[in-house]
Amino acid sequence: MACYESSLMHLTWKPSVTIAEQSHHLLRCISGISTGPQENWTIIKLEAFAIIAACDMLPHLLLRSSGFRLYYFHRNLIHVFAPDDTVKKHIRGKLIRWAMRHGEFRYQIHRIAGQAKI
């Protein structure tokens, strides 16, 4: 799950309050189904694809001068933005292409550790 917080929510966001205690407003709910070759993708590729697809579908909400915050739960998702040698070469190439495609967006990445829920 990823929670995209755009600058529209800046009035309710407080850095001293945990994410669970902050006020959240659903702006848009999107989903999809993996088909064909996507059914064989690794979890990291599926997670990365969800982020890229959301940016492709919601540029009017996410493409802002003040940027947005991306919250994620899966530790391995950091490899999307900084793939290292532990990621297979053919997967690393796709992740780098996706990260470059995502490069036009200004964002801050925040990992939600443990079992914390939004």
In this prediction, residue 41 carries a pLDDT of 83
In whole angstroms, give the CA distance from residue 82 to residue 80: 6
Strands of 3-6's sheet in order across:
3-6, 68-72, 107-111
Q: Helix 43-57 to helix 89-101 angle, to the nearest 10 degrees?
A: 20
CA torsion 101-46-65-108 (nearest 10°) is -120
In this prediction, residue 84 carries a pLDDT of 66
User: Which residues lie closer than 8 Å to 117 by C-beta, 6 or more apart?
Assistant: 20
Tokens of 41: 């993708």
In this prediction, residue 24 carries a pLDDT of 67
| Tens-digit pLDDT string for the chain (118 aa) | 444 544 334 444 455 666 667 666 777 777 788 888 888 888 777 877 888 888 888 888 888 888 888 777 777 676 666 656 666 777 777 777 777 777 788 887 777 776 655 5
